Structure 1
Amino acid sequence: MSDEKRPKVLSCVSCRQRKIKCDKVAPVCTQCLGANTECEYPSRKPTRRAHRPRQSELLDRISRLEKIVGKANPAKLKEVNAALAGHAAPTQSTSRKATADVPEPATEPSPVLEREISTDIADTASRYLSVEFWGHLCEEVEGIKHALDEPSEADDDDDEGDDTSPESRETSYWDGAANHPSGFLFGNPSYHERDQPSHPPRDMLLRMWSIYLRNVDPLMKFLHRPSLTEEIQLFANSSSRTISPSKHALLFCIYFAAVTSLSDEACFVQLGQRKSELASKYRIHAERALAAADYLANPNLTLVQAVTIYVTMLRSYELSRSVWVLTSMVVRLGQTLNLHRDGDGHNFPPFEAEMRRRLWYFIVVLDIRGAEDRGSDSILNKNSYNTNLPTNLDDELFGPNMTGPIAPQPSPAENIFSICTARCSSTFGYIAHPQAAEVAASEKPLHTEEELINHVRSLEDAFIHTANPSNIVSVYASEVARIVILKLWLIVQYPFSAKSTIIPLRASRETMLRTAISVMELVEAMTSGFWADRFAWWTRGYMQWHPLAVALAELCIQTEGELADKAWTVIDRVFPTWKHSVADSSKGSLWRPIRKLHRKAKEARAGSMMKDLQIADAQPRSRPI
């Protein structure tokens, strides 16, 4: 009896439903014993003798697939592509306008096009990957899919290792995280799956949350501080520390943000460890937590909040183009949740509608800042979303349980900075990216100097004249508004692209140089002194290369005078430090032309000074009596 092959015991019904590993201990497995649930083992169905025909069917289908794919000769694909390109070239320019208005069908080519192609390249018909080929291929793959969907005894073992259900993600959170593609999209060469991420001890967890509230939350107001503080305190005081995968990811992104917002010295004093070590640790933990929550395939509001925090802080952590690339992912995740089409938010409860619009407009800010950082086009334009601006309101004045409408408060609220950056980004992007302005229908296009002045005055009235000196966030928002207003004048005169949305202003070169200097001085002041310990991470995150380039260009012409002397004093201060915070570092493609411009401006100034010396030496000197 011992030599006979015993039938394999199947997992109990409870473990199979929960998608967890069953140790198959009789009469009650360990998982059911711990969960105090009924443990019932299913009886095995009678063995069917259908395995051989099923395998034969699969082999036949695979054989037919090989024959179909064999018709595609890779060596002659270039010839086919060349023939197709030659056929399409004459009609491309003439059909461009028509295709702009009429969407192209996404199903299959028209019969006329098929006949034209077959006529023009009849000699390659046997090698052309036609609709017939794809039809046969899809038919065969669909057949294989149906065949593989049939149950078998081996499915039981495969299912035990499948942790894709929500229940499984709750009980064994980190299992299978490496199998998600989400973990490999952050561009982190240090990413690994070796150590299981763990939350910090209670005191350190609460300290990092406090740091986040002080340094990050005032500038990124899309988390609700009161309700999240209550959740974090419950989590920190809990012995089991059970929380959803989305909240796990959000917490690790908060840890990463808190550490990144600190200086090296402040991090060591407040957290007792070096910033480089802690930031690297929690960056990887945040990436693993996001991957385990499967943020790409199953996004929700909490996960998009977490990803937005991660991508925003990543720009302060490193200089690579990862942030620029990942910003498009954040935009798509927001669009997946339809954050951009909320309108006035009447389809959602008041609290949820407000949190959605706060998150969406920060994504808009992230897009504009990323485009400015790289000198590229923005992803979004004002015609692509209709969500209302966030409400000027403190977090304590609304919450998840409110049912009535949300009304703004008269004085600057806690989220005044977010409202300021949202409005500034909207106007800034509209002017800096004319391809977006061309189709914008939400407001009148900015085509005259007077209209631009009206927009500038509205920003001044909303954020500068009403700034509350006792509210540090309000004062910081007013400084940002000043910088944006000055940069608007620079962009109109020196646009990012050849096509401008504004008629060139009547401004002298001295005015442009003075404006560029003012921007650099304001930015320099915001990264030191009064703001340094809290918000310098935000200001340093995006080096103002455009005003610097404008100033250097003007200094190639304006080589002398008090204004030129002042400009060089400012440039000599910022140039050595800004090259370390520019995108892709000082060796990147953005800094190289600035470095050349800097050298040319210095040569022009030196040449002017040398000319003055020569003129002075050439003047006759009076002889002593």
Structure 2
Amino acid sequence: MDTEGLAQEELDTSDEEEWSHGKTPSTQEIERTPEDRNAFMFRHNLMPSTPDLRDFHPLPSQIPFLLDVFQENVNLFLQSVHIPSTTKMIRDLRGDMTSLTPANEALMFSIYYAAVTSMEEEDVRLNFGSTKAELNLKYRLGLEHALAKADFLNVPDLVLIQALVNFLALARRHDSPRFVWMMVGIAIRMAMSIGLHRDGSNFPSLSPFEIETRRRVWWALCLFDVRASEDQGTEFTIAVDSFDTKIPMNINNSDIDPDSKEGPTEREGLTDMSISRVSIKTCELSKRMMVRGPKAPSLEEQDHMLQKIYQELDEGFLRFSTEANISYWVIVTVARLMVAKMTLFIYLPVLFSSPGGQLSEQLRTKLFIAAIEVAEYNHALNAEQACRQWRWIFQTYTHWHAIIYILIEIPRRPWSPLVERAWTALHSIWLIPTQFKMRKNLRVWFPLRKLMNKGTQHRESELNRLINNASAAENLQNEYLTMIQPSSQAHFPAGSNAAALFLEQWKQLVQFPTQGMRAHMAASSFQGHSATGSSKLASGAPEGINANSYTMTVPRVQLWQEGVEIGGSLDAAPSSTLDIPSNADKLEARPVEPSVGPAFQQTTSTSLDNFLSTQPADGETMPSLWTDDFIEQVDLGTLDNMDLDSDIDWYNWVESAKGMD
């Protein structure tokens, strides 16, 4: 059944039936303008009058720049908008925005909004002479009014869904996950109402351009559905096998245009769609991995799907790209992060359902390493200056499974270099969400504060124990040297070995003799792959690429914030100067000039307070989740009496926490 235009046909039919029977309408709804009918969606019915949309447009001279920013920062990953045809539309307007159709006007506002929201505060101020908050609100209001004017709920079309897709891609950065989840549901129903869940090849009347655009928009909604459902702990709105829309073709945007009569020939190698197709194929596998109920895949099947993500990435992107490309580094890092994250998703329920036995201990180590990888890869992506234009993507994720598991696991373990590494990763300024709205949910942080206190006390106790027990420290070192290590290396000094760096830091903390340390710290002393997979992507660099040249291609950040001294007294305040030990007999690493700051902070018992009060790069306010003003509002007696092992179902807590930021 051709569902194109179905919504409009039904609307027209219902109106005709009302009047054909000579009845007086029982409502004034049909007399209201689309702006009036849709104002409730965005609360604009509280405004005294409908504004003039011309007041919300940027200067004509600014539009090409905004389109370029949108293409580089947003559309590179989504490909929801065909840039050549949009550029032509803008050029043909010659600055007269009044000639835009309502749908195209909504699309333009979505591009303005997405472009500005994806930018950093200083970049917005430099290029527009306004604050990011001012322009963000201006273009969002313009988009909301334009959508209402286009009557998007009653007369959906492909362009309006494109506009909503662009908005939803960035809305997660400032809106609540619940709002995004609701709006994604609306967008999906709009898409289904015009048949996007059916491949366009089923409709002979559609042009090749329309068929391909429909595929891109539908799969963007599939990506949002996975993310929104994950946030809320709900089933997917788009069920697996409920649609037949094909994955977009591997083509360049220049291969197709609205006037094309014949479909393009699919290309081999890198195209404008390559990155988007990698995301789509990963999304498809994720949906199948996370199916619940009788059709849920087994652990073996899930693990196979996890490895297939690597295969898809290699076949569709890596073998055609070069490590000199920043997008190459980003895609590889995101893939590693995702595999580590999915490892937590798959195995945490198994661990919590079988708390005893050897299997649990093996799983605990596997998951501990995966959680460290998630935190470190997340830090690397956010801290890397060369990909700051995509930071908006990384900052919309809060990796609750990794945060909680590290906090739970640390007090269980003797304080080895691996635990010190996890503790350091926990202090990344990028790991905790930035939305100040989270302070409305203060009580949900009580267990986390308790876990943090427990971890701090355990660290101090363990370090004191190891300082006074050289034999125990030596045993931990020997065990560490034979362990499988986290694969996350990207944000450490070029040419260094992360496992060796943390061994050095740990040795200083426990005052362990460092004589002959060089032999212990050779890269070959450590296992060369992580616990999350054996694929080439689980290593420090993809197969066939020189690890040293790879790590130096893109500017890296140093492990500790510039100005922080490693080691020292447990009670010492953070130092003001950085000096990563350069002694040849201690550390085989070449310090490099930091390209981004700040990175990881000094991990003293008080560092989290300082860490969480740090301002993010875009000027948002970090929530002081662990600071003194927070503690004043907490019933510490309740915290002290809380049994973290029996009073809290941590897996369910994580599931509920994902939707609260």
Question: For the superposition of Structure 1 and Structure 2, which TM-score range results when normalised by the shorter chain?
Answer: 0.5 to 0.7
Q: Work out whether 1:224 is the aligned partner of 2:79.
A: no
Report if the CA contact (8 A) 1:526-1:536 is conserved: yes
User: CA offsets per residue over residues 187-223 of structure 1, 9 Å max, x none?
Assistant: 7899775532222221122222222122111122011
Residue aligning to 2:197: 340
Distance 1:539 1:496 in 2: 28
Equivalent position of 1:316 in the other structure: 173
Alignment partner, residue 484 of structure 1: 338
C-alpha spacing 1:239/1:221, structure 2 compared with 1 (3 Å): closer
Distance 1:363 1:449, change over 3 A: closer
Change (3 A) 1:399 1:142: closer
Aligned residue for 2:123? 266
Give a deviation string over 1:71-118, Cα, whole Å, max 9, x none: xxxxxxxxxxxxxxxxxxxxxxxxxxxxxxxxxxxxxxxxxxxxxxxx
Q: Which amino acid aligns with 2:76?
A: P
Specify the SS of the correspondent of 1:338: coil
Q: For 1:611 and 1:242, how far apart are their aligned partners in 2?
A: 75
Please list the CA deviations of residues 419-465 of structure 1 after superposition, one character each: whole Å capped at 9, or x if unmatched.
12211122223223424xx458xxx8774466345524423423564
2:315 is the counterpart of 1:462: yes
Identity of aligned residues (%): 24
1:606 is displaced (CA, Å) by: 4.1
Give the aligned length: 448
Which of the numbers 213, 217, 230 marks the counterpart of 1:355? 213
Kept in 2, the 8 Å contact 1:351–1:398? The answer is yes
Q: How does 1:199-238 map to 2 (within 5 A)?
A: 199-235=57-93, 237-238=94-95
Aligned residue in 2 for 1:185: 41
Shift in CA distance, 349/559, structure 1 to aligned 2, threshold 3 Å:
farther
Which of 460-469 and 512-521 deviates more?
460-469
Write the distance in 2 (CA, Å) between the matches of 1:256 and 1:613: 55
Q: Would you say 1:410 and 2:263 are equivalent positions?
A: no
Corresponding position: 1:564 with 2:444 = no
User: Would the alpha carbon gap of residues 233 and 597 (structure 1) be closer, same or farther in structure 2, given more than 3 Å must change?
Assistant: farther
Offset, 1:414: 1.6
TM-superposition CA deviations, 1:316-367 (whole Å, max 9, x none): 2334631122111111111112211227556432211111011111101011
Deviations 1:582-618 (A, max 9, x none): 98468378766545444443344345446557879xx
1:379 aligns to 2:243 (yes or no): no
2-structure distance, mates of 1:411, 1:144? 59
Q: Residues of 2 paired with 1:506 and 1:615: CA distance?
A: 25
Q: Compute the displacement of 1:373 (Å).
A: 3.0
In 2: Cα distance, 1:589 partner to 1:381 partner: 34
The 8 Å contact of residues 251 and 272 in structure 2, kept in 1 or not, is answered as: yes
1:352 and 1:400 in contact (8 A); partners too: yes
Name the residue aligned to 1:166. none
Unaligned runs of 5+ residues in structure 1 are 1-140, 151-157, 164-175, 617-625
Distance 2:219 2:437 in 1: 23
SS in structure 1 of the partner of residue 427 of structure 2: helix
CA contact (8 A) 1:541 1:581 kept: no
Question: What is the CA–CA distance in structure 1 between the aligned matches of 2:302 and 2:115, rounded to whole Å?
Answer: 42
| Deviation at residue 521 of structure 1 after TM alignment | 1.3
CA drift at 1:499? 9.6
Distance in 2 (CA, whole Å) between partners of 1:545 and 1:307 is 28
Within 2, Cα distance between the matches of 1:607 and 1:344?
66
Q: 5 Å matches for 1:98-109?
A: none
Partner of 2:455: 601
Distance in structure 2 (CA, Å) of the matches to 1:144 and 1:428: 51
- TM-align CA RMSD: 3.8
Q: Aligned letter for 2:273? A: N
Compare 185-194 and 202-211 and name the one that shifted more: 185-194
3-state SS in 1 of match to 2:75: coil
Residue identity opposite 2:423 in structure 1: W
**Residue 274 of structure 1: how far off its partner (Å):** 0.7
Distance change (3 Å), C-alpha of 1:239 and 1:484: closer
For structure 2, the 5+ residue unaligned runs are 1-16, 471-661
What letter corresponds to residue 222 of structure 1 in structure 2? Answer: S
* Alignment match, 1:255: 112
1:548 aligns with 2:403: yes
Cα distance in structure 2, aligned partners of 1:303 and 1:615: 68
State whether structure 2 residue 148 is matched by structure 1 residue 285.
Answer: no
SS in 2 for 1:339: coil
Letter in 2 for 1:251: M
Query: What is the aligned partner in structure 1 of residue 304 from structure 2?
Result: 451
2: distance between equivalents of 1:384 and 1:423? 16
Counterpart for residue 365 of structure 2: 510
Counterpart in the other structure of 1:328: 185
State the alpha-carbon separation in 1 of the partners of residues 115 and 427 from structure 2. Answer: 32
The alpha-carbon deviation at position 291 of structure 1 amounts to: 0.5
- Specify the code of the residue in structure 2 equivalent to 1:536: R
Distance 1:531 1:546, change over 3 A: farther
What is the CA–CA distance in structure 2 between the aligned matches of 1:283 and 1:404, rounded to whole Å?
37
Structure 1 residues 190, 455: CA separation in 2 closer, same or farther (over 3 Å shift)? farther
Mapped partners of 1:546, 1:264: distance in 2 = 30
Does residue 157 of structure 2 align to residue 300 of structure 1?
yes
Cα distance in 1 for residues equivalent to 2:353 and 2:232: 18
> Counterparts of 1:506 and 1:430 in 2: how far apart (Å)?
28
The separation in 1 between residues aligned to 2:414 and 2:313, in whole angstroms, is 33
Aligned residue for 1:118?
none
Q: In 2, Cα distance between the equivalents of 1:402 and 1:499?
A: 56
1:137-174 CA deviation, whole Å, 9 max, x = no partner?
Answer: xxxx9999744269xxxxxxx99x958xxxxxxxxxxx
One-letter amino acid of the counterpart of residue 381, structure 1: A
Between 1:538-547 and 1:194-203, the stretch displaced more is 194-203
Kept after mapping to 2: 8 A contact 1:354/1:390: yes
Distance in 2, Cα, partners of 1:282 & 1:190: 19
Pairwise CA distance, 1:374: 3.6
Return the letter of the residue paired with 1:491: F
Provide the C-alpha distance between the structure 1 equivalents of 2:48 and 2:364, rounded to a whole number of angstroms. 53
Q: Does 1:243 align with 2:96?
A: no
- Which letter maps to 1:185? M
Amino acid of the structure 1 residue aligned with 2:396: G
- Greater relative contact order, per chain length (Cα 8 Å cut-off, separation 6+): 2
- Note the alpha carbon deviations across 1:393-440, whole angstroms, 9 max, x for none: 1101112222223332111212222212211122223223424xx458
User: What is the CA distance between 1:305 and its match in structure 2?
Assistant: 0.5
Please name the residue that 1:196 is paired with.
Answer: 52
Distance 1:488 1:196, change over 3 A: same
The answer as to whether partners of 1:383 and 1:439 remain within 8 angstroms in 2 is no
Inter-partner Cα distance in structure 2 for 1:313 and 1:192? 28
Query: Which residue does the alignment assign to 1:124?
Result: none
